[in-house]
């Protein structure tokens, strides 16, 4: 499949999602760019789709068909009723050595089909105590104290005299 066909395929998938209208699709070897206009009212769903595209990009980085995605707003001037007005469109750029396979996967994401995207809740963080500290240093030890102080103690901080 040619780069032009890849660009048209991505543009068509975006259009079929109903979330954005492709304005232009350009291509280069191993890269496709689609500029889109998002109608009012679709912004939240559109940004959720962009988030899923970026999650899929991250999830597939170890695969042979891994791709790079760049998503941004593209600002330009447009002649509207004889006046040059500043407008923007969303630009989606996908770069891959295996574009057909990468787009197959991205089509699933755009259509909302199941993929291997890891959810944010699956990535849990763990709290650990700092070695060498005893107790909770954020609990005041005497009335009137705020609780937090430097690890070395209250007397290890001395103003440098700057500004005097």
Q: What mean pLDDT is predicted for residues 121-148?
A: 56
CA-to-CA distance for 19 and 39, rounded, in angstroms?
Answer: 7
* pLDDT tens-digit map of 76-129: 999 999 999 999 999 999 999 999 999 999 999 999 887 765 544 444 445 555
Res. 6: pLDDT tops 90 = yes
CA-to-CA distance for 22 and 131, rounded, in angstroms?
Answer: 55
Q: What mean pLDDT is predicted for residues 25-47?
A: 94
Q: Where are the domains of the chain?
A: 3-120
More confident residue, 33 or 145: 33
More confident residue, 27 or 130: 27
CA-to-CA distance for 99 and 39, rounded, in angstroms?
Answer: 28
CB-count burial class (<10 Å; 0-12, 13-18, 19+) for 159: exposed
Domain 3-120 adopts which CATH fold? Gyrase A; domain 2 (3.30.1360)
What is the reported pTM?
A: 0.66
How much is the pLDDT for 114?
Answer: 77
How much is the pLDDT for 2?
Answer: 84
Q: Give the percent of the chain with pLDDT over 90.
A: 60
**Number of neighbouring beta carbons within 10 Å of residue 13:** 18
């Amino acid at each position: 499949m040619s780069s032009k066909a890849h660009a048209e395929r991505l543009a068509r998938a975006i259009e079929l999602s109903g979330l954005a209208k492709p304005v232009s699709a350009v291509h280069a070897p191993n890269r496709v760019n689609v500029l889109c206009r998002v109608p009012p009212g679709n912004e939240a769903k559109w940004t959720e789709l962009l988030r899923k595209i970026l999650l899929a990009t991250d999830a597939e980085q170890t695969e042979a068909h891994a791709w790079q995605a760049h998503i941004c707003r593209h600002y330009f001037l447009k002649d509207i009723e004889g006046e040059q007005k500043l407008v923007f469109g969303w630009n989606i750029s996908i770069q891959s050595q295996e574009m057909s396979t990468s787009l197959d996967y991205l089509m699933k994401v755009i259509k909302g089909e199941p993929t291997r995207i890891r959810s944010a809740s699956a990535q849990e963080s763990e709290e650990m105590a700092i070695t060498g500290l005893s107790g909770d240093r954020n609990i005041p030890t005497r009335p009137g104290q705020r609780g937090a102080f430097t690890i070395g103690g209250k007397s290890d901080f001395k103003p440098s005299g700057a500004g005097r």
